[in-house]
């Protein structure tokens, strides 16, 4: 009896993508297991993006759909574009969804490997209708496609994806969106994506961890392209000591971290609201952890600093401790995105 192939939809967000989009779409269309469709949310591109999509959609059996996110020149940005993409996905009756960036390259077995891992996870869990997510490592390449690193996780110095506790995941995401493959159940519980989220892939990871199950594929399935126009990009793990203080990427990370941590608290609060809204059984220990994280921002100065230092992994660096104390001291005063800031 032939294997039943689930309907699979690729979700791609684009903006002024003419430099790399054709190669990315071609790598998707050339997969060993073809997707049922590719849905593209374009954020009002003003280059040749639409022409590329039109040309490739006429060459292949796979249906390529494009939906303009806003009328030119009303660009809304990466975050809002992905929210639109997830809204569209809810209207599609697929069983499996894969996220794609517009400037990467998929290895030929990316869909096949991801879908098989998702099916294996489903069989292992044995729970019908459980939200599921699988994600993988990536190879880092430059704008010409030449390999910079064979492992994105090692390149960025990410914590072990196999052993990421919820307390860490609340403020440090280990899931890279363009590797994500997930089922309909996770899509439905994650949508609509709240305004407060740090990023769509971080929210997906939290929903999978709290409401369902996830699995890490310890091999690169995507060539993650580094170029001058990356919206996020891969950052090499910083050196230690004084040399780190001279690293522009490290200094930029330091400047972003306070906002990121404060936004992570808002995201965790949205997660609590989603738990209450869905009325789904969630581990009591997980709820307790999320509530403790959310309350950090409301604590008094002394408690906020002492508790905050427990949430972030520490080394013996005096400078790092002083920096974190300053971050937690100003935490309640940082401007973050809330639901009332909806765009």
What mean pLDDT do residues 183-208 have? 96
| Confidence (pLDDT) at 77 | 83
Domain boundaries, the chain: 8-225, 242-341
* Residue 173 pLDDT > 90: yes
* Residue 274 pLDDT > 60: yes
Q: Beta strands 63-68 and 132-141: pairing type?
A: unpaired
pLDDT-derived band of residue 342, with 50, 70 and 90 as boundaries? very low
| Confidence (pLDDT) at 269 | 97
| Confidence (pLDDT) at 209 | 96
Range in 60-64, 121-125, 205-209 with the lowest mean pLDDT: 60-64
Name the percent of the chain lying above pLDDT 70: 86
Average pLDDT over all residues of the chain: 87
Running DSSP on this structure, what letter comes out for residue 104?
-
pLDDT, tens digit, 9 for 90 and up, residues 48-88? 998 998 888 877 667 777 766 655 566 778 888 899 899 99
pLDDT-derived band of residue 340, with 50, 70 and 90 as boundaries? very low
CA pair distance 272, 269, nearest whole angstrom: 5
| Confidence (pLDDT) at 44 | 85
What mean pLDDT do residues 148-170 have? 87
Cβ(37)–Cβ(11) under 8 Å?
A: no
- Mean pLDDT is highest, among 149-158, 196-205, 276-285, 316-325, for 196-205
* Residue 1 pLDDT > 50: no
Q: Which residues pair with 270 in a beta bridge?
A: none
- Helix or strand run (H / E) with residue 217: strand 213-225
Question: Which pTM was predicted?
Answer: 0.89
Class of domain 8-225: alpha beta
Cβ(171)–Cβ(264) under 8 Å?
A: yes
pLDDT-derived band of residue 338, with 50, 70 and 90 as boundaries? low
- Residue 228 corresponds to which tokens in the numbers above? 């001058």
| Confidence (pLDDT) at 72 | 59
* Residue 235 pLDDT > 60: no
More reliable by pLDDT, 2 or 173: 173
| Confidence (pLDDT) at 60 | 65
Cβ(138)–Cβ(152) under 8 Å?
A: yes
DSSP SS3 for 181: strand
* Residue 243 pLDDT > 60: no
More reliable by pLDDT, 289 or 253: 289
What mean pLDDT do residues 301-315 have? 86
| Confidence (pLDDT) at 213 | 95
CA pair distance 132, 118, nearest whole angstrom: 7
Phi, psi of 97 (to 5 degrees): -130, 145
| Confidence (pLDDT) at 172 | 92
| Confidence (pLDDT) at 341 | 42
| Confidence (pLDDT) at 252 | 78
What mean pLDDT do residues 128-152 have? 93
């Amino acid at each position: 009896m032939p294997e039943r192939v689930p309907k699979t939809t690729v979700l791609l967000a684009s903006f002024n993508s003419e430099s790399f989009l054709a190669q990315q779409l071609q790598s998707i269309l050339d997969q060993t297991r073809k997707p049922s469709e590719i849905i593209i949310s374009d954020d009002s591109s003003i280059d040749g993006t639409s022409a590329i999509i039109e040309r490739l959609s006429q060459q292949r059996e796979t249906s390529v759909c494009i939906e303009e996110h806003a009328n030119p020149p009303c660009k809304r940005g990466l975050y809002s574009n992905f929210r639109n993409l997830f809204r569209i996905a809810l209207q599609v009756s697929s069983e499996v969804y894969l996220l794609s960036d517009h400037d990467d390259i998929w290895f030929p077995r990316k869909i096949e490997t991801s879908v098989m891992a998702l099916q294996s996870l489903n069989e292992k869990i044995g729970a019908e209708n459980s939200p599921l997510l699988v994600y993988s490592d990536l190879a880092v390449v430059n704008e010409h496609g030449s390999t910079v690193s064979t492992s994105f996780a090692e390149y960025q110095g990410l914590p072990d994806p196999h052993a990421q506790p919820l307390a860490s995941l609340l403020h440090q995401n280990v899931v890279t969106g363009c590797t994500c493959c997930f089922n309909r159940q996770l899509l439905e519980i994650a949508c609509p994506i709240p305004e407060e989220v740090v990023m769509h892939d971080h929210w997906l990871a939290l929903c999978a961890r709290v409401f369902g199950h996830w699995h890490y594929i310890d091999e690169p399935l995507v060539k993650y392209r580094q170029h001058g126009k990356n919206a996020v990009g891969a950052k090499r793990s910083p050196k230690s000591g004084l040399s780190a203080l001279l690293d522009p990427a490290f200094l930029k990370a330091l400047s972003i971290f306070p906002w990121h941590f404060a936004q992570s608290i808002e995201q965790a609060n949205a997660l609590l609201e989603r738990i209450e809204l869905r009325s789904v059984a969630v581990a009591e220990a997980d709820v307790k952890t999320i509530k403790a994280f959310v309350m950090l921002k409301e604590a008094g100065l002394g408690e906020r600093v002492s508790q905050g230092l427990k949430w972030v992994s520490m080394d013996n660096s005096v400078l790092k401790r002083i920096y974190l104390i300053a971050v937690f001291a100003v935490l309640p005063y940082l401007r973050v995105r809330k639901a009332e800031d909806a765009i």
